[in-house]
Amino acid sequence: MPPVFPFLPQRLEGLVDVACNLNWTWNREARRIFAAIDHQLWTRLRHDPLALLQQVGAERLGQCAADPAFLALYDAVMRWAAAEQSPSQTWFAQRYPAEAGNTIAYFCAEFGLHHTVPIYSGGLGILAGDHCKTASDLGVPLVGVGILYRAGYFDQQVRNDGWQEDTDDPIDLTRTVVEPVEGPGGVPYLTSVRTAGRDVFIKVWRLRVGRVTIYLLDADIEQNHRDDRHLLSRLYAGGPGLRLRQEWLLGVGGVRVLRALGIAPAAWHANEGHAAFMFVERVREFIVAGLTYDEAVKAVRAASTFTTHTPVPAGHDTFPVFDVAECTGPVWEEMGISRDTFMALGRYPVSGDSSFHMTTTALRLSRRTNAVSRLHEAVTRKLWAPLWPDRRESDLPVTHVTNGVHLATWMSNSIMQLLDAHLGQGWGARVDDAAQWEHVLSLDATALWNVHRWLKNQLLVHAREQARHLFSAHARDAAQLVGTGVLLDPEALTICFARRFATYKRANLIFHDVERLLRIVSNPSRPVQLIFAGKAHPADIPGKQILQEIYQTTRDPRFEGRIAFVEDYDMHLAHVLVQGADVWLNVPRIPMEASGTSGMKAALNGVPQLSTMDGWWEEGFNGHNGWAIAAPPGESTREEDSAAADQLYELIETSVVPTFYNRDANGLPQRWIQIMRHALCAAGARFTSRRMLAEYVNDYYVPSIRGEKTPDEAPTG
């Protein structure tokens, strides 16, 4: 059933449509009008407009409907919403008018768009969400395909001993912006996919993201066998067998859903190997239409782009050939090929096993392949060189498009208002003008510092409010409160680490020498405090152990009040952290961070990064916008960690802390503020998703749409 809004006056009915399209999340006026209805309730509901419109009282809504100032803002938002429906004046329509009638299909296993639609786990999903938001901004004719995980990604609860517990909080679809798409005659499904000997009927939900629509697949309908109804309910859970079937349903079902909707994409993009079966289904389609297998593969490759995000072999999905055959059934018979030929699509030539590699499949069926940073391109070439045994690594057909982040999503309102005054109205439409960003280097020091201090205070308020909520709900006792951030000092240098708790990200690196760290954080005249947030994958025991280690330090009497762990990391908390930190800490082992985007988000708020030279920071660090740890890899992991930790401590002690606390007569850290300016300048000029998507359009999508001839350098190994 659709949401019900019993008290909404007719004069304000347009707010429902605004709330049901997620482009409100990056429009300042749209966000402002919801906050203006009831700011306290808006904050308590963590910026959920549907919940706001359902819970606010009739009296308050009546006041809004009679308030001329509110109605003026409302009418402005309605005009903006109407203009968003037309792509005629967008960047894509003006640059590529002949291609504007085409469609680009974008497949991904997760999409991170807003915390109220929790179908994402981390960086891959957030990147996909930013990709779609930017496609809407630029008018790129993109359609997304993913999965509606009714159980979402797990909620994090940390026990008294610091061990992460994973709990499900199923999505109440009547309280979200997803809309059902009915099949012919009102049937609840659009298509079916055969897997493990049974047909699975696919229900589809529509998610509106500005001008972009994302179609989400769902199997939880009564037409399916009871054992199949929850195949698509949980994100990255249930083991490799379930994951294989999810990826088969995503790839094959996604293509069939687009066909059922009458959508015929001219270009296809698989964001990570989870979606590789999309290419396989398209090969099958061409063969059924009369092409030979080789012709079908060539036709699929010509229109296909594949993006890989994973720099280590263990991070790529592989499945036993027997399990693949059981999942897919003898689809090779319908394709007119042998079982061995089908399985060869996923064969990695030097693996020495009979596994089916999803990334290998995507590489074989895509003409255009990219990594997500300059360094990751080199790593990807080395990792997949066996697929081209007769070629040098430097000549392999793998390029890179460095990730970027959606500025209007991640930059705070306060920083935007500062730029309004400094750069002039409309600066957001000139994001790709590098010269504009140079003007940021002359931002008023007092204004920038005051905005940052306000954002930092908002972070500490958020931590205290969350702690109060946990305590009042009896989820925390008094002894635990000290580690939640209630004692953090608004004047102390605050370093934030908020990432997925994978071991290679080394969340515990700063604890390598506890006594040295203790001296740093307990300096009475120049104190330092640390805030951590993040989840470990439910099956990642080492990651959970690192999280537990850090959580337990928050209760160590020596560190009490100086280290905090903020629970249940999601997009809402991420906004608060990247906007309010003094320093963003990121210390992955090189070269295991393909790109990393959290530091870009922090930098868009003037927050410097302190990081190892991996991922985006390898090309983003310019000597003025933060600090780089350049420790070379050691002969062992222990040696490498020790060297990186030594550099980390040295930088904090000799550069970060003195620069932060060195104040002029007006109490301003002038040199620190200049680093903040450079952080903002570099991120705005080079690391937004507008630049990223323009590269995809110019170098990948449009050539695919046009059928431009490029060397078809298919893997031969």
Q: What domains, with CATH codes, occur in the chain?
A: 10-83 (no CATH), 91-403+695-706 (3.40.50.2000), 407-422+433-687 (3.40.50.2000)
Average per-residue pLDDT for the chain:
94
Give the model confidence (pLDDT) of 285-344 as tens digits: 999 999 999 999 999 999 999 999 999 888 899 999 999 999 999 999 999 999 999 999
Quick check: 476 pLDDT over 90?
Answer: no
Confidence class of residue 68 from pLDDT cuts 50, 70 and 90? very high
Which pLDDT score, from 0 to 100, does residue 429 have?
Answer: 87
Two tokens at 193?
A: 């996919």
3-state secondary structure 653-715: HHHHHHHHHCCCCCCCCHHHHHHHHHHHHHHHHHCEHHHHHHHHHHHHHHHHHHCCCCCCCCC
Among 1-15, 378-392, 554-568, 604-618, the least confident range: 1-15
Which pLDDT score, from 0 to 100, does residue 88 have?
Answer: 81
CA nearest neighbour of 550 among 486, 626, 496: 496
Quick check: 614 pLDDT over 60?
Answer: yes
Which pLDDT score, from 0 to 100, does residue 4 have?
Answer: 80
Which pLDDT score, from 0 to 100, does residue 142 have?
Answer: 98
Quick check: 474 pLDDT over 80?
Answer: no
Two tokens at 413?
A: 């309102």
Give the residue-averaged pLDDT of 26-48: 96
Quick check: 3 pLDDT over 80?
Answer: no
Which pLDDT score, from 0 to 100, does residue 380 have?
Answer: 97
Q: What whole-number distance in Å separates Cα of residue 428 and Cα of residue 446?
A: 23
Which pLDDT score, from 0 to 100, does residue 473 have?
Answer: 74
Which pLDDT score, from 0 to 100, does residue 403 have?
Answer: 98
Quick check: 352 pLDDT over 70?
Answer: no
Length of the chain: 717
Which pLDDT score, from 0 to 100, does residue 713 have?
Answer: 87
Give the residue-averaged pLDDT of 33-51: 96
Instruction: Evaluate whether 540 touches 501 at the Cβ level (below 8 Å).
Output: yes
Quick check: 55 pLDDT over 80?
Answer: yes
* Pairwise pLDDT comparison (88 vs 145), residue with the higher score: 145
CB neighbours of residue 99 within 10 Å: 20
Quick check: 450 pLDDT over 90?
Answer: yes
Phi, psi dihedral angles at 559 (to 5 degrees): -110, 0
Which pLDDT score, from 0 to 100, does residue 516 have?
Answer: 97
Integer-rounded Cα radius of gyration of the chain: 25
Helix (H, G, I), strand (E, B) or coil at 320: strand
Confidence class of residue 153 from pLDDT cuts 50, 70 and 90? confident
Instruction: Evaluate whether 547 touches 501 at the Cβ level (below 8 Å).
Output: yes
Which pLDDT score, from 0 to 100, does residue 477 have?
Answer: 74
Give the residue-averaged pLDDT of 38-50: 96
Give the residue-averaged pLDDT of 433-451: 96
Which pLDDT score, from 0 to 100, does residue 237 have?
Answer: 76
Give the residue-averaged pLDDT of 485-514: 95
Confidence class of residue 533 from pLDDT cuts 50, 70 and 90? very high
Give the residue-averaged pLDDT of 406-413: 98
Confidence class of residue 634 from pLDDT cuts 50, 70 and 90? low
Confidence class of residue 86 from pLDDT cuts 50, 70 and 90? confident
Tell me which residue has tokens 């517990």.
Answer: 165
Give the residue-averaged pLDDT of 228-246: 93
Quick check: 154 pLDDT over 80?
Answer: yes
Give the residue-averaged pLDDT of 388-395: 93
Which pLDDT score, from 0 to 100, does residue 509 have?
Answer: 97
Confidence class of residue 236 from pLDDT cuts 50, 70 and 90? confident
Quick check: 1 pLDDT over 60?
Answer: no
Give the residue-averaged pLDDT of 360-374: 97
Two tokens at 170?
A: 């199923």
CA nearest neighbour of 577 among 548, 599, 547, 550: 599
E strand residue ranges, 51-140: 104-107
Which pLDDT score, from 0 to 100, does residue 470 have?
Answer: 80
Confidence class of residue 708 from pLDDT cuts 50, 70 and 90? confident
Give the model confidence (pLDDT) of 639-655 as tens digits: 999 999 999 999 999 99
pTM: 0.97
Which pLDDT score, from 0 to 100, does residue 290 have?
Answer: 97
Confidence class of residue 110 from pLDDT cuts 50, 70 and 90? very high
Q: What whole-number distance in Å separates Cα of residue 469 and Cα of residue 472?
A: 5
Give the model confidence (pLDDT) of 256-288 as tens digits: 999 999 999 999 999 999 999 999 999 999 999
